[in-house]
Amino acid sequence: MVIIDVDGVLTDGKIILDANGIESKAFYVQDGTAITYLHRAGIKTAIISGRESKVVELRAKELCMGDVYLGIHNKLEAYEKILKKHRIKDNEICYIGDDFIDLPILRKVGFSVAVPNAPSEVKETVSYVTNAHGGYGAIREVTEKILKSQGKWDTIISRYY
C-alpha cells in the first residue's frame, strides 16, 4: 500500500483561498496517472492529511483512493486504523511525507519517502528522497520506482505502446 500526505506531496503545498474563503489546489496530472498505475498493479492507496479539504476529497474520489483521512492531527492513529482495516504490516507500506508531522509514520514503514523541500531532519530519516518536488511528479517518481522494483512497470505501461 502507498499512503500519501497531501499538502507538499500530492500538491506543491500552496493553499489558495479566494475572497469568499473557497479553497483551491492544483494537482499534477502525472501524479494522478501514477495513482491509477498503482491500482492497476493491485497496490492500494490512501491519504492522510492534517487539513480538511473538500478539494482533496473530490480528487481522492476521482482517483478511486479507498482510505482518505483528512483533518488528522495525529497521523499515526489514522495509519494504525489503515493497517488494522487492511490487515497489513508496517513493512508492506510506502509512506510519502514532507514534514515533522509525518515522522512517526516515516519511522515505521517499509519504504519511507520525502520530497526534496522537506526539512533536513525528515530527509535524514527516510529511505528515499525524490528528485521531483511535491505537486510536480514526486508521486509519479515513487510509483515508477515501486513498480520497476516489483517487475510490474513494463506491463502497466505496455498498453500505451
Residue 95 Cα distances to 4, 19, 54, 98, 112, angstroms? 6, 35, 22, 10, 5
Provide the CA 117 distance to its chain's centre, in angstroms. Answer: 15
**10-residue stretch averages of pLDDT, the chain, 161 residues long:** 98 94 94 98 97 95 96 96 98 98 98 98 98 98 98 93 81
Q: Which fold has domain 2-160?
A: Rossmann fold (3.40.50)
For the chain, domain boundaries: 2-160
pLDDT of residue 160: 84
pLDDT of residue 6: 97
pLDDT of residue 69: 98
**How many Å apart are CA 132 and CA 12, to the nearest integer?**
11
Asked if 35 and 161 touch (Cβ cutoff 8 Å), the reply is no
pLDDT of residue 161: 81
